[in-house]
């Protein structure tokens, strides 16, 4: 049986635009007599996330890692919401295996009850690198049969185990979409460096335009799903 609300008391969201979108989704609910979760910004990338979570004290209840993700499946286009039913880890092109611990079945059921058809179940794979080409996405899907790729979920599950964790991702780039290579813009601490990011966009303007458009659409959907989850 799904946990009674509020099942999720902490939201972990990549810092920046994703964090802002989640906060916007919760903002209209603050005037109502609703117990809302705390929203904690996290860096991008597994190692940075692990370091951040070491100092985090969680309240009782479940934890939800949420944000944007890349599609690995033609069935999932930009704006699609995915509840992680299973989580895998890939390091240097090899599957490490299931994350230590998996998404909480109780939290998964609670989210399904709240979101209905607005988000489907899927497998999330956490990569140690940014995938920028359709070929790289296809190779990862062939390797894992996963539906969505991100860079944080398995690290969160491992760092917080045995605390119950759930995953919600919104697609921001299609499975066959080429992205600008922003690897040089990602610092070791999980922050995005502005000037290397701008440089990568200038060097690949077409890919950058598609990334920006998909991200904006995904952020609007992330905001809407956040609101629906806790209204």
User: What is the per-residue pLDDT for 5?
Assistant: 47
- Integer Cα distance of 105 and 47 in angstroms: 26
The pLDDT value given to residue 97: 63
Instruction: With a cut of 50, list the residues of the chain below it in pLDDT.
Output: 1-5
pLDDT for the residue numbered 138: 94
How far apart, in whole angstroms, are the C-alpha atoms of residue 170 and residue 6?
Answer: 22
- Residue 142, pLDDT score: 93
Q: For 55-111, write each residue's pLDDT tens digit.
A: 888 888 899 999 999 999 999 999 999 999 999 999 887 787 655 679 999 999 999
What integer pLDDT is reported at residue 132 of this predicted model?
87
Residue 34: what pLDDT? 73
Identify each DSSP E strand in the chain by its residue range: 8-14, 38-42, 62-71, 81-91, 94-98, 119-127, 148-150, 165-173
- Residue 99: the pLDDT is 56
Domains within the chain, CATH numbers bracketed:
8-230 (3.40.50.1580)
């Amino acid at each position: 049986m799904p946990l009674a609300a509020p099942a999720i008391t902490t939201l972990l969201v990549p810092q920046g635009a994703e964090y802002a979108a989640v906060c916007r989704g919760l903002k209209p609910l603050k005037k109502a007599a609703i117990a809302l979760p705390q929203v904690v910004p996290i860096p991008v990338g597994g190692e940075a996330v692990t370091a951040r979570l070491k100092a985090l004290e969680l309240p009782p209840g479940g934890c939800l890692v949420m944000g944007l993700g890349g599609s690995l499946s033609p069935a999932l286009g930009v704006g699609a919401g995915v509840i992680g039913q299973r989580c895998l880890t890939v390091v240097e092109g090899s599957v490490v295996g299931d994350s230590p611990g998996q998404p909480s079945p109780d939290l998964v059921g609670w989210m399904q009850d709240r979101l209905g058809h607005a988000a489907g179940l899927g497998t999330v794979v956490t990569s140690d690198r940014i995938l920028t080409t359709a070929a790289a996405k296809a190779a990862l899907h062939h390797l894992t049969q996963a539906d969505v790729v991100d860079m944080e979920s398995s690290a969160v599950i491992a760092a917080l185990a045995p605390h119950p964790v759930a995953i919600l991702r919104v697609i921001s780039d299609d499975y066959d979409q080429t992205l600008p290579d922003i690897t040089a813009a990602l610092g070791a601490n999980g922050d995005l460096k502005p000037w290397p990011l701008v440089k990568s966009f200038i060097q690949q303007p077409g890919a950058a335009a598609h990334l920006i458009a998909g991200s904006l659409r995904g952020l609007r959907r992330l905001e809407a799903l956040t609101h629906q989850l806790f209204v």
